Chains A and B, each alone.
Chain A
Amino acid sequence: MSEKRAKKRTEVADIDRSLYDFKKSEEGYERFDDGLSADIVREISAKKDEPPWMLDLRLHSLELYEQMKMPSNWGPSIAGLDMKNISTYVTSGSAQVDSWEEVPEDIKDTFERLGIPEAERESLAGVGAQYDSELVYHNMREEVAELGVVYSGIEEALHGPYAPLIKEHFMKLVPPTDHKFAALHGAVWSGGSFVYVPAGVDVPFPLQSYFRLNAAGAGQFEHTLIIVEPGANVHFIEGCSAPKYNVANLHAGCVELYVAKGARLRYSTIENWSKNMYNLNTKRARVEADGVIEWISGSFGSHVGYLYPSSLLMGERARCEFTGITFAGAGQNLDTGCKVHMAAPDTRASVSTKSISKSGGISTFRSSVVVTPKAENARTTVSCQSLMLDDESVSDTIPAMDVRNATAQIGHEATIGRISDDTIFYLMSRGIAEEEARAMVVNGFAEPISKELPLEYAVEMTNLIKLEMEGAIG
């Protein structure tokens, strides 16, 4: 019937991403040779003046990396990623400072355009900003520091009083043996944040780290380590973006979260890497009794993404709430989802995700729920809704369940839908142009997720969706 119209609709003009897609010169930057070798790893370590155990960890990781095979039977292809062409370390050479005034003009301008200093003034307890391989800015409000909260660059913390604590936790949740890109991360990690929230402290505003990868053909390997002590509560926000290049870039960050008894951590991410990015990121949380991990995850960017934040519910009544949205447009193949490992009685998990695919984009939702024999009365609900905006796009759901306790209750529901022509006609008949009508439906679909985000991020997500929807009609 309306085949001609459907075809026409799905022609996509190049999306204007000027909001994120601006490049800065790399002139005068220090850039290590492309590819990977023990020499490069030693060079990175020496530059950072690290304790010897860290160099050992790096070299051991490199060995593992070299032994492990590229994942081949898993999700979207990463054949286009050739490590020989990736520089693992690039820095502007500017030292990390705690005042935006001291940040070099170019870099400051970048973060200003991304709205970071403004957000910091208005609604954040602390901010870290990483540019390529190194942090360029880190600061926290005085009154939060007075509560005993630590929020700093992780490398900096390795030289301070928390060094033993970091050693105890660093790559223990995500060991280099986990998978090839965890090994790579162990070898060349650089930058990232360390957060420590003492027992009983309720951090009144979110902490935020922003990661910007400006250099072409480079990798970003930041490490985030968060320790929330018993009864404490904190919200951490992570944002990331990059300009688009026509060579592959790689992000293989690692996030390790330790949520102690009765503590609560909300970890929000808006990921908006450019569409030449391979985002092979690993995030994991360990939650003790009565603790809560809340994941809010928005994935909009990247050419290929593997992202499955996982939660190990180790103590009784530990909980995980996962709320995620993935938007895969032209040229994107995003394999996202989450894992929950329920290893104690009365643990709870609720997973709710939305995925949108458009203009040939592929979005796959992968979930894995494991219930161990110990997890009496574990309860999980997994719900995944997909919206395909045209016939070329693909949406898929791959749930895996491994339930080893008969008292467990597991619910799973998945729906895949399209925007109906009737809905669009209805909205148009009330005076709304087609493009706007589509954006309205998509934003409505995403609303249960966006309402979980801090306001400025909800606005950003609405804008991102609008941006993605623009030019969707030929």
Chain B
Amino acid sequence: MAISKPLIDITNVTALAGEKEILHNVSLALDAGTCHVLMGPNGAGKSTLGHVIMADPEYTLSSGSIAFEGKDITDMPTYKRALAGIFLSFQAPVEVPGVPLYSFLRTICAARPELKMTARQFRKHVHELADELEMDEAYLTRDLGVGFSGGEKKKVEMLQLLLLQPKLAILDETDSGLDVDALSVVSKGIDAYRKSCDGTLLIITHNTRILERVSVDRVHVMVDGRLVDEGNASLISRIDAHGFEAYTQE
């Protein structure tokens, strides 16, 4: 019987920001097409894990390795990981004055010839997606992130997710700070992403509401830079009811 390799395999990763060790010996493997949730109190290291998977130069690995589709990517730079099919939706998306959203989207699609999108198809697709995400089309001509509300910024992240159809999507608190309507748009977006390309998800969240629509395969709990627990979807409601006290009291 052939043993299928996980899509991403994080092995014994210890990560530092400067001198400060933030992640301690973290191991996590996600199979293709599965949906994982990463929970944990503020400051646990969840965002850091997302950034480390994306090779944020802010962090260095003092040990451990990361493999993607069976290939070691530990030394691969950020943009190559992105082109290989990893996507990180930012907890705090940035603003880039002078770069209109539309031309930014065009640039990132152009970097992926496998999307095989003509200018015309691209145009049509972007407008459809904006529509689906209930985004005002006027945002497409505005500068990336500049003057966008928190909710609009998150929608722009979803728009890119749906446009790029990455193999692995890490969504870092894409739901935080959203009102109920925006929340339902985002969870519809997650749904659409999974359906369109059978994508793999690692959802970092505090909010259990966003998970109501998605079927979760596995839940991981991080406290103080360590993965301390994992379980099936039922773990979500347990944490919802009791918080992380059980883990932090030890």
Chain B residues contacting A444 (CB-CB under 8 Å) are 96-99, 143
Minimal beta-carbon separation of A1 from chain B (angstroms): 4
Minimal beta-carbon separation of A275 from chain B (angstroms): 26
CB of B93 closer than 8 Å to a CB of A: yes
Count, chain B residues at interface, CB 8 A = 30
* B160 closest partner in A (C-beta): A430
The list of the 3 closest CB pairs from A to B, nearest first, reads A444-B98, A447-B98, A431-B82
Interface positions, chain A 403-442, Cβ under 8 Å from B, are 420-423, 425-434, 437, 440-441
Minimal beta-carbon separation of A301 from chain B (angstroms): 23
* B96 closest partner in A (C-beta): A444
Q: Is the interface of B mostly helix, strand, loop or mixed?
A: loop
Interface string of B91-114 (1 = CB under 8 A from A): 011111111000000011001100
**Is A431 within 8 A of B83, CB to CB?**
yes
**Is A431 within 8 A of B112, CB to CB?**
yes
Q: Is the interface of A mostly helix, strand, loop or mixed?
A: helix
Minimal beta-carbon separation of A151 from chain B (angstroms): 34
From A423, A432, A447, contact of B79 by CB (8 A): A432
Interface residue ranges, B against A (CB under 8 Å): 17-18, 51, 54, 56-58, 77-79, 82-83, 87-88, 90, 92-99, 107-108, 111-112, 143, 160, 164
**Is B78 within 8 A of A428, CB to CB?**
yes
* A432 closest partner in B (C-beta): B79
**Is A2 within 8 A of B57, CB to CB?**
yes
Minimal beta-carbon separation of B24 from chain A (angstroms): 19
Chain A residues contacting B18 (CB-CB under 8 Å) are 1
Q: Kindly state the separation between the CA atoms of A426 and B156 in the bound complex, as whole angstroms.
A: 13
Q: Kindly state the separation between the CA atoms of A437 and B94 in the bound complex, as whole angstroms.
A: 13
Minimal beta-carbon separation of A34 from chain B (angstroms): 45
* B51 closest partner in A (C-beta): A425
CB of A443 closer than 8 Å to a CB of B: yes
**Is B17 within 8 A of A427, CB to CB?**
no
CB of A448 closer than 8 Å to a CB of B: yes
CB of A318 closer than 8 Å to a CB of B: no
Q: Kindly state the separation between the CA atoms of A427 and B143 in the bound complex, as whole angstroms.
A: 14
Chain A residues contacting B112 (CB-CB under 8 Å) are 431
Q: Kindly state the separation between the CA atoms of A199 and B108 in the bound complex, as whole angstroms.
A: 51
CB of A5 closer than 8 Å to a CB of B: yes
**Is B97 within 8 A of A429, CB to CB?**
no
Chain B residues contacting A425 (CB-CB under 8 Å) are 51, 54, 56-58, 78
**Is A428 within 8 A of B99, CB to CB?**
no
**Is B54 within 8 A of A5, CB to CB?**
no
**Is A426 within 8 A of B90, CB to CB?**
yes
Q: Kindly state the separation between the CA atoms of A240 and B99 in the bound complex, as whole angstroms.
A: 28
Count, chain A residues at interface, CB 8 A = 26
* B20 closest partner in A (C-beta): A1
Q: A1-B17, A428-B77, A431-B111 are in contact. Are A441 and B96 (CB under 8 A)?
A: yes
Q: Kindly state the separation between the CA atoms of A386 and B99 in the bound complex, as whole angstroms.
A: 17
Minimal beta-carbon separation of A98 from chain B (angstroms): 41
Q: Kindly state the separation between the CA atoms of A20 and B108 in the bound complex, as whole angstroms.
A: 31
* A385 closest partner in B (C-beta): B97
**Is A1 within 8 A of B90, CB to CB?**
no
**Is B94 within 8 A of A429, CB to CB?**
no
From A426, A429, A432, A446, contact of B111 by CB (8 A): A432
Minimal beta-carbon separation of A364 from chain B (angstroms): 23
CB of A32 closer than 8 Å to a CB of B: no
**Is B107 within 8 A of A5, CB to CB?**
no
* A447 closest partner in B (C-beta): B98
Q: Kindly state the separation between the CA atoms of A431 and B106 in the bound complex, as whole angstroms.
A: 12
From B51, B79, B94, B143, contact of A431 by CB (8 A): B79
17 pairs across A/B with beta carbons < 8 Å? A1-B18, A1-B58, A420-B94, A426-B90, A429-B79, A429-B88, A431-B79, A431-B112, A431-B164, A432-B79, A433-B79, A434-B79, A437-B79, A440-B107, A444-B97, A447-B98, A447-B99
**Is A428 within 8 A of B82, CB to CB?**
yes
Minimal beta-carbon separation of B166 from chain A (angstroms): 10
Minimal beta-carbon separation of B22 from chain A (angstroms): 12
Q: Kindly state the separation between the CA atoms of A342 and B57 in the bound complex, as whole angstroms.
A: 51
**Is A431 within 8 A of B108, CB to CB?**
yes
**Is B88 within 8 A of A440, CB to CB?**
no
**Is A422 within 8 A of B94, CB to CB?**
yes
Chain A residues contacting B143 (CB-CB under 8 Å) are 444
* B85 closest partner in A (C-beta): A431
Q: Kindly state the separation between the CA atoms of A433 and B90 in the bound complex, as whole angstroms.
A: 18
CB of A445 closer than 8 Å to a CB of B: yes
**Is A423 within 8 A of B82, CB to CB?**
no
Q: Kindly state the separation between the CA atoms of A429 and B85 in the bound complex, as whole angstroms.
A: 10
**Is B58 within 8 A of A421, CB to CB?**
yes
Q: Kindly state the separation between the CA atoms of A431 and B54 in the bound complex, as whole angstroms.
A: 11
**Is A427 within 8 A of B58, CB to CB?**
no
Minimal beta-carbon separation of A139 from chain B (angstroms): 36
**Is A445 within 8 A of B93, CB to CB?**
no
